[in-house]
Amino acid sequence: MKENIKKLVESKCTKDNYAKLAALDNPDILSFLGEYVKLCEPKSIFVRTDSSLDIDYIRRAAIKRKEERVLKERGHTVHFDGIYDQARDKKRTKYLVSRGSGLGKNINITEREEGLNEIRTILKGSMHDKEMIVCFFGLGPLYSEFFIPCIQITDSFYVAHSEGILYRSAYEAFCKLKPKSDSVFKFVHSTGELENGISKNVDKRRVYIDLEENTVFSANTQYAGNTVGLKKPALRLAINKASGEGWLSEHMFVMGVKSDKRTTYFCGAYPSGCGKTSTAMLRGETIVGDDIAYLRNINGVVRAVNVEHGVFGIIRDVNPDSDPIIWKALTTDGEVIFSNVLVSEDGVPFWIGDGRNTPPKGYNFSGKWYQGKIDDLGDEIPFAHKNARYTVGLGRLENCDSKLDDPGGVEIGAIVYGGRDSDTWPPVQQAFNWIHGVITMGASLESETTAATIGKEGVRTFNLMSNLDFLSIPIEKYIANYISFAKKLVKVPAVFSVNYFLRNDKGAYLSSIEDKRVWFKWMERRIHNEAGVLKTPIGLIPEYKDLRELFKNYLGKKYTKEEYEDEFTLRVPENISKIERIINIYKENVPKVPKILFDVLYEQKGRLESFMKTYGKYVNPFSLEEY
Longest dimension (CA), the chain: 81
Q: What are phi and psi of 54, to 5 degrees?
A: -65, -40
Helical ranges in 149-297 per DSSP H? 157-166, 171-177, 224-227, 232-245, 276-280
Q: Who has greater pLDDT, 256 or 99?
A: 256
Domain match, 341 and 255 both: no
SS (H, E, C) 73-86: CCCEEEECCCCCCC
Residue 537 has pLDDT above 80, yes or no: yes
Percentage of the chain modeled with pLDDT above 90: 89
Q: Among 13, 135, 274, 400, which one carries the catalytic annotation?
A: 274
Say if residues 604 and 610 touch (Cβ distance below 8 Å).
no
For residue 142, is it within any domain? yes
Residue 613 has pLDDT above 90, yes or no: yes
Q: Who has greater pLDDT, 544 or 91?
A: 544
The enclosing domain of 218 has a CATH number of 3.40.449.10
Domain match, 115 and 215 both: yes
What pLDDT does residue 425 have? 97
Domain match, 35 and 180 both: yes
Q: What is the mean pLDDT of residues 264-273?
A: 94
C-alpha to C-alpha distance for 418 and 420, rounded to whole angstroms: 7
Q: What is the mean pLDDT of residues 555-575?
A: 97
Domain match, 319 and 265 both: no
C-alpha to C-alpha distance for 239 and 245, rounded to whole angstroms: 10
Say if residues 355 and 320 touch (Cβ distance below 8 Å).
yes
pLDDT tens-digit series, residues 413-445: 999 999 999 999 999 999 999 999 999 999 999
Residue 462 has pLDDT above 90, yes or no: yes
Domain match, 420 and 376 both: no
Residue 149's Cβ-count burial label (10 Å; 0-12, 13-18, 19+) is: buried
What pLDDT does residue 98 have? 86
Domain boundary (245, 264, 298) is at 245
Q: In sequence order, what are the beta bridge partners of 570?
A: 619
**How many degrees, rounded to 5, is the angle at CA 320 between CA 271 and CA 281?**
40
Q: What is the mean pLDDT of residues 99-116?
A: 82
Residue 87 has pLDDT above 90, yes or no: no
For residue 258, give the amino acid letter: K
pLDDT tens-digit series, residues 193-204: 998 888 999 999
Residue 456 has pLDDT above 60, yes or no: no
Number of H helices, E strands in the chain: 19, 35
pLDDT-based confidence at residue 627 (cuts at 50, 70, 90): low
pLDDT tens-digit series, residues 14-69: 999 999 999 999 999 999 999 999 999 999 999 999 999 999 999 999 999 999 99
C-alpha to C-alpha distance for 600 and 54, rounded to whole angstroms: 55
Residue 370: CB atoms within 10 A of its CB come to 12
C-alpha to C-alpha distance for 260 and 620, rounded to whole angstroms: 33
Q: What is the pLDDT of the chain when averaged over all its residues?
A: 94
Q: What is the mean pLDDT of residues 248-256?
A: 98
Query: With a threshold of 0.85, does the pTM exceed it?
Result: yes
What pLDDT does residue 612 have? 96
For residue 83, is it within any domain? no
For residue 240, is it within any domain? yes
CA atoms within 13 A on the CB side of 297: 16
For residue 76, is it within any domain? no
For residue 81, is it within any domain? no
400 is annotated as an active-site residue: no
For residue 74, is it within any domain? no
What pLDDT does residue 450 have? 55
> Structurally, how many domains does the chain consist of?
3
pLDDT tens-digit series, residues 311-346: 999 999 999 998 999 999 999 999 999 999 999 999
For residue 84, is it within any domain? no
Domain match, 301 and 364 both: no
Say if residues 326 and 393 touch (Cβ distance below 8 Å).
no
Q: In sequence order, what are the beta bridge partners of 296?
A: 303
The side-by-side arrangement of strands in the sheet containing 342-343 is 349-350, 342-343, 361-364, 367-370
Residue 254 has pLDDT above 50, yes or no: yes
DSSP letter assigned to residue 625: G
Q: What is the mean pLDDT of residues 343-356?
A: 97
DSSP letter assigned to residue 47: E
Q: What are phi and psi of 94, to 5 degrees?
A: -135, 150
For residue 439, is it within any domain? yes
Residue 389 has pLDDT above 90, yes or no: yes
Strand, coil or helix: 94: strand
C-alpha to C-alpha distance for 574 and 580, rounded to whole angstroms: 10
Domain match, 241 and 276 both: no
The enclosing domain of 380 has a CATH number of 2.170.8.10
Q: What is the mean pLDDT of residues 603-620?
A: 97
pLDDT tens-digit series, residues 215-243: 999 999 999 999 999 999 999 999 999 99
Q: What is the mean pLDDT of residues 272-284?
A: 92
DSSP letter assigned to residue 277: H
Helical ranges in 439-554 per DSSP H? 451-454, 475-487, 516-527, 544-550
Q: CB under 8 Å to 596, separation ≥6 — which residues?
A: 435, 439, 483
Say if residues 132 and 42 touch (Cβ distance below 8 Å).
yes
Residue 188 has pLDDT above 50, yes or no: yes
Domain boundary (362, 396, 430) is at 396
For residue 316, give the amino acid letter: R
What pLDDT does residue 626 have? 63
Domain match, 297 and 316 both: no
Burial 86-108 (b: 16+ CB within 10 A, else e): bebbeebbbbbbeeeeebbeebe
Residue 17 belongs to domain spanning? 3-66+89-245
Domain match, 241 and 104 both: yes
Residue 135 has pLDDT above 60, yes or no: yes
pLDDT-based confidence at residue 272 (cuts at 50, 70, 90): confident
Domain match, 14 and 144 both: yes
What pLDDT does residue 4 have? 84
Domain boundary (396, 429, 449) is at 396
Domain match, 286 and 328 both: no
Burial 422-440 (b: 16+ CB within 10 A, else e): bbbbbbbbbbeebbbbbbb
What angle separates helix 572-589 from helix 595-615, to the nearest 10 degrees? 160
Say if residues 24 and 33 touch (Cβ distance below 8 Å).
no
Q: Who has greater pLDDT, 174 or 273?
A: 174
CA atoms within 13 A on the CB side of 153: 30
Domain match, 105 and 118 both: yes
